[in-house]
Structure 1
Amino acid sequence: MIAYIAYPTSLTLQSANALQTYTTLRELRARRPDTVAIIPRWGREPSRFAEVGALHMPRPAIGKLSRLYKSTLLYYLEHTAFAFMTAAVLAPRRHEVEAVYVRQVICAAWWAGLLGPRLGLPVIYEAHDLETHNPSRAKEPWATGLLHLIDRVALTRATRVVSLTDDFRQLLGAIGWRAPHEVAVIPDAYDDHVFAPADQRAAREALGLPLEAPIVAYAGMTFAHRWLDGLVAAVAQMQAQRPNLTLVLLGGRDGERAALRQQAEALGMPVTEQAQGATAGSCILLAPRPQAEVVRYLVAADVLAIPDTVTDVTASPLKLFEYLALGQPLVMPNIPALHEIVPGELCYPFARRDFAGLVAALAAALAEHGTAQSVARRSLAAEHTYGQRAERILGLVESK
């Protein structure tokens, strides 16, 4: 039995980490039905994770107290309590457990440093970044040492570590925490049940988008730290030569879309919150949509953009793989972790946060013609399905 411990930020798959956890579990259970996922749930809130056989445990919602005292430390306490709750569940069945797979850093630290050794269970930690680099980390000055300890215990005491990128694997070797051969690189992936190429014109007709206008698109559940304001400004500048250039931004929180609307209007771009009947040259700001609808908007675009990423050496955004699977020209920052997946000849890179570089990359991507690069991008994406991700995880579990 594989015990998979996760703390998704949305049980209804309204966040990237929830989507990745859910789809990975779906594919793991298709191959190893004995995989048991342990997920917290507050009360009777709806959860898609029941579909993948998750065991829901009561969420020890200590973090909710942050409404009274704003501190990430309260969430650390919550995750600590949950780690011990999962140990109580697994202890009676420890002889059945082949490995404990953890992707939440606080739980990983407790499992790697204490619970796993006490129960005699190997622990595999899927690290998505250092907690000391987490924008949502505890900010109290005295907590700096605690953050370092959390990272060090989780990454040095786990039986094996999974990294999303080789860049992060090399970092762990450079600081002496793990030898490179002890870290398995298993990148993110895309859901090939959902993301597949389709006819662009048909997608535009169905959505009511301008049929002939060049369209640049971005889709994401949140916009923070992703330089969407840079993308808006770049498209606005390019409209001096391409007045019908249209920008589609899909997702984000209400406040994030409101800020981009204000920026676009100040730059003289017409803004609309619906695609149907939008005029060429508009900035189309759309609230989050179901994945199946997101695909249609992306298919309708000429260029798909990643203005920036939240992380650096661990950058492996889901949209990178989803964009590749659709085949359109891809504009992205020149970050080594991203280029581990996409070689320069299959994308249009620019120096990170370089406005002129972003404009030049968008212009070059819009000028792409032919199908060879599109076919190559889709072929590359086919190496990164969630099914293959699950196979890599199982291979690691069996070789621990």
Structure 2
Amino acid sequence: MGADMGWVHRLKERLPKALYELMELAYSWIAYRKLLAAAREFQPDVIYERYNLYLLSGAMLKRKLKIPFLLEVNAPLVFERSQHSGGLSLRGLAKWAERRAWRSADFVLPVTNVLAEHVAAYDVPAERIQVIPNGINKAHFAIAPAAAQAKADLGLSDKLVLGFTGFVRDWHGVDRVINWMASAAAPRHVHLLMVGDGPERAALEAQASRLGLSERVRFTGVVHRDEVPSYVAAFDIALQPAVVPYASPLKLMEYLALGKAVIAPNSPNLREVLTDGTNAWLFDASEPLKFEAGLSSLCNDAELRHKLEAGALATIDRLELTWLSNAKRVVALAQRSAVADAPI
């Protein structure tokens, strides 16, 4: 949860950045040897890997075994790591590794069309780029209680519940929600339910205390995965206050699966799933106070919330945003690759 992760974390803190990055690349050989041993026993038909920077073991195994290699991409990690965590020391090497991994795959599977543009920029042919958004397990969320029961279980029956799930960081903008709750625009019965934890928790709790909102802001801390649907079911308004421009947020899929009125930035990657006024309230993140105005509108318009709830609930089936649908697409792509690679 962002804390000390043991000896690897300590090693990273002590080594020169360039040396650590070289060690990341060198680990590809160790991972390759382990994968090769496993593959000789398991005899796979396809390699499916989630992309990580400097990890080339999947590409190496494809070259050795000559079987299809599908690569899931959740972020352009050269770009992302250049912006965060002190940046990259060996940026040229990192770009080479990213290009090598992406171009080695039979199919690259970015989670949004925006991310697909990053992949295409490395000269990956368009026919080998297949966008597959993140999804949900419908059965997992089918067990969630009705909203009224979920609220009652949490002692929130008389509250209008704003909810957020996941690992909260400063860029998520939850501090804006708390400031808005302290304003005259916010109804007095609004309650903020934060399902999860993260490095920003202490600051947000301190902010709520300063503003006299401690009784109206609740953090659950880390909860078991099986408990998440019961918490999300209690939301009246589901919060996606900010998003990185290429992401396919898992929390968003969960909000939609439970038919919640979503408020989110009007960004291209989210518009691949969300339509303003149909299954979400989309605000212009570049304009001050548009998010807060959206919160006020949603809180004061129950009819609008119900409309967005219905639209959200229909979105999962309409766009087939489930892991089962994703798995079927992956299998079909693997079969296409196997046919293409078959000897004549």
Q: Which TM-score applies when normalising by structure 1?
A: 0.73
Do the aligned partners of residues 296 and 205 (structure 1) sit closer, same or farther apart at CA in structure 2, a change above 3 Å counting? same
Instruction: List alignment gaps of at least 5 residues for structure 2.
Output: 338-344
273, 280, 291: which one aligns with 1:358: 291
User: What secondary structure, in the 3-state scheme, does the structure 2 residue paired with 1:225 have?
Assistant: helix
Greater shift, 215-224 or 386-395, is seen at: 215-224
Question: Cα RMSD (Å) of the superposition?
Answer: 2.8
Asked if the contact 1:217–1:305 (Cα under 8 Å) also holds between the matched residues in 2, the reply is: yes
2:35 is matched with 87
98, 101, 105: which one aligns with 1:151: 98
1:228 is matched with 174
1:392 is matched with 329
Deviations 1:305-333 (A, max 9, x none): 01112x312x1011111000111210011
Q: CA shift at 1:293, angstroms? A: 2.7
Alignment size in residue pairs: 325
Instruction: List alignment gaps of at least 5 residues for structure 1.
Output: 1-13, 16-41, 43-60, 273-281
Q: CA shift at 1:235, angstroms? A: 2.9
2:341 is matched with none
2:130 is matched with 184
Confirm or deny that 1:334 pairs with 2:253: no
In 1: Cα distance, 2:321 partner to 2:76 partner: 24
Asked if the contact 2:99–2:122 (Cα under 8 Å) also holds between the matched residues in 1, the reply is: no
Q: CA shift at 1:229, angstroms? A: 2.1
Q: CA shift at 1:106, angstroms? A: 4.0
245, 249, 270: which one aligns with 1:312: 245
In 1: Cα distance, 2:66 partner to 2:263 partner: 47
Q: CA shift at 1:181, angstroms? A: 1.9
1:259 is matched with 203
Confirm or deny that 1:375 pairs with 2:313: no
Q: CA shift at 1:138, angstroms? A: 7.2
Q: How does 1:51-62 map to 2 (within 5 A)?
A: none
User: What secondary structure, in the 3-state scheme, does the structure 2 residue paired with 1:389 have?
Assistant: helix
Asked if the contact 1:111–1:123 (Cα under 8 Å) also holds between the matched residues in 2, the reply is: yes
195, 212, 220: which one aligns with 1:269: 212
Q: CA shift at 1:380, angstroms? A: 1.1
Whichever residue aligns with residue 236 of structure 2, its letter is D
1:199 is matched with 146
Whichever residue aligns with residue 159 of structure 2, its letter is A
Identity rate of aligned residues, in percent?
22
Q: CA shift at 1:120, angstroms? A: 2.1
In 2: Cα distance, 1:177 partner to 1:171 partner: 10
2:21 is matched with 73
1:11 is matched with none
In 1: Cα distance, 2:32 partner to 2:170 partner: 32
2:189 is matched with 244
Whichever residue aligns with residue 293 of structure 1, its letter is E
User: What secondary structure, in the 3-state scheme, does the structure 2 residue paired with 1:216 have?
Assistant: strand
Asked if the contact 1:247–1:284 (Cα under 8 Å) also holds between the matched residues in 2, the reply is: yes
In 2: Cα distance, 1:120 partner to 1:169 partner: 25
User: What secondary structure, in the 3-state scheme, does the structure 2 residue paired with 1:230 have?
Assistant: helix
Whichever residue aligns with residue 205 of structure 2, its letter is R
